[in-house]
Amino acid sequence: MTTPLEFYFDFSSPYGYLASTQIDSLAAELGRGVSWHPILLGPMFQAMGSVPLVQVPLKGKYALHDFERTARLFNIPYATPEAFPISTVAAARATLFLLRHDKALGADFAKRIFTAYFAQGKDIRELPVILETAAQAGADSDALAAGMAGDDIKNELKKNVADAMARGVFGSPFVIIDDEPFWGFDRFPHIKMWAKSHHHAN
Amino acid sequence: MTTPLEFYFDFSSPYGYLASTQIDSLAAELGRGVSWHPILLGPMFQAMGSVPLVQVPLKGKYALHDFERTARLFNIPYATPEAFPISTVAAARATLFLLRHDKALGADFAKRIFTAYFAQGKDIRELPVILETAAQAGADSDALAAGMAGDDIKNELKKNVADAMARGVFGSPFVIIDDEPFWGFDRFPHIKMWAKSHHHAN
């Protein structure tokens, strides 16, 4: 029995987007599934006393360059969004609502939202963009519009972020595999190496 | 004609240490040499308003784990130093002095200092440790003791740190190849991919 890769991401995270395009093939290579966990970096940054990467002197300019270069090296479509970083609470709530009813649909929607923001120049803060993207994924957008505004979804997102932080999640993308934590798209090769050495050790 | 990999590092950087064990083979694979640049992270962190990684809530604990795990995955000897992070100004000055007289000797010394600190439990702030390590590399430790205390070396280190920052260097390890900047040991695979695509493009 293998457990799925626990995949945590904020929709405003470029490396999270890059990871979202590769997590399925990584999981397939390891013979595992993927659990998709939309989170919000805001409360985590607050706990760490940190600011968004691109706002840090010296590092910010490099980061913008590295996002684009990494996408190019991995042949992933990418265009720096005009508004960045943004609040992704609406998209996260929509994902939670869809995941609750259909895990495959929720995952597909998450990938489409990431692509809309980081490759298609869409503003994923806007409700029409969220609903249209959901409809393209085959969701009932009227049910989504009603459901994502519910208090239960709002509370679930808050709880999920708190639970993630309690597990040690502090960034995006963040993958937990059998309780082993990996932060960053650049740790995907490490996840493979770790999983293979772990497998042999058992 | 190819230019060398410009390799910037602080001796108190675990990922810098890991990189120091792999930079030669990376350079060889790309048909390049390596220029070794000891720097100090202190002034860079000051400019960025950041603190050492291990002091950041949430991220710090993960970082300590990731240092060890990354070393293990790459089969690099590693033991978290008792005192960490530390001031590495003396070791950096010693490296500069040795590099000035013999680039191969300076590079060999730098690798030995990293290993002394991150694999052999030695306190590389101590002058006797520095001189003994230099002697093992074949250096004249009396000449080093006198030379590394000179104002010219002190000023050269300050200038090198300022020059590095002016080039956009803000962390360790940091590699510049043909003006293209890469931060982190985890970017070594990206350097290979970049260098190969860059070569084909010319």
Tell me how close the Cα of A80 comes to any Cα of chain B, in angstroms. 19
Task: Decide: B170 and B4 in contact? Cβ < 8 Å.
Answer: no
Question: b/e per residue, A98-112, with b = 16+ CB within 10 A?
Answer: bbeeeeebbbbbbbb
Q: Which residues contact B69 (CB under 8 A, 6 or more apart)?
A: A190, A194
Of the candidates B62, B70, B183, which has its C-beta nearest A62's C-beta?
B183
pLDDT for the residue A115: 98
How does pLDDT run across A28-69, given as a tens digit for each residue?
999 999 999 999 999 999 888 888 888 888 899 999 999 999
**What CA–CA distance (Å, rounded) separates A158 from A162?**
6
Sign of CA dihedral B78, B80, B82, B86: positive
* Chain A residue closest in CA terms to B194: A73
Pick the more confident residue, B137 or A202.
B137
How does pLDDT run across B102-133, given as a tens digit for each residue?
999 999 999 999 999 999 999 999 999 999 99
Pairwise CB contact (< 8 Å): B197 & A47: no
Residues 9-38 of B with CB under 8 A from A: none
**What CA–CA distance (Å, rounded) separates A108 from A95?**
9
Q: Which residues contact A141 (CB under 8 A, 6 or more apart)?
A: A131, A132, A134, A135
B196 touches chain A (CB under 8 A): no
Tell me how close the Cα of B152 comes to any Cα of chain A, in angstroms. 28
Residues of chain B positioned with their CB less than 8 A from the CB of A189: 189
Task: Decide: A129 and B19 in contact? Cβ < 8 Å.
Answer: no
pLDDT for the residue B178: 95
B172-B177-B178 Cα angle (round to 5)? 140
How does pLDDT run across B152-183, given as a tens digit for each residue?
999 999 999 999 999 999 999 999 999 999 99
Residues of chain B positioned with their CB less than 8 A from the CB of A194: 69, 73
Q: Which has the closest alpha carbon to A14: A87, A77, A67, A83?
A: A67
How does pLDDT run across A93-127, given as a tens digit for each residue?
999 999 999 999 999 999 999 999 999 999 999 99
Tell me how close the Cα of A50 comes to any Cα of chain B, in angstroms. 8
**What CA–CA distance (Å, rounded) separates B42 from B40?**
6
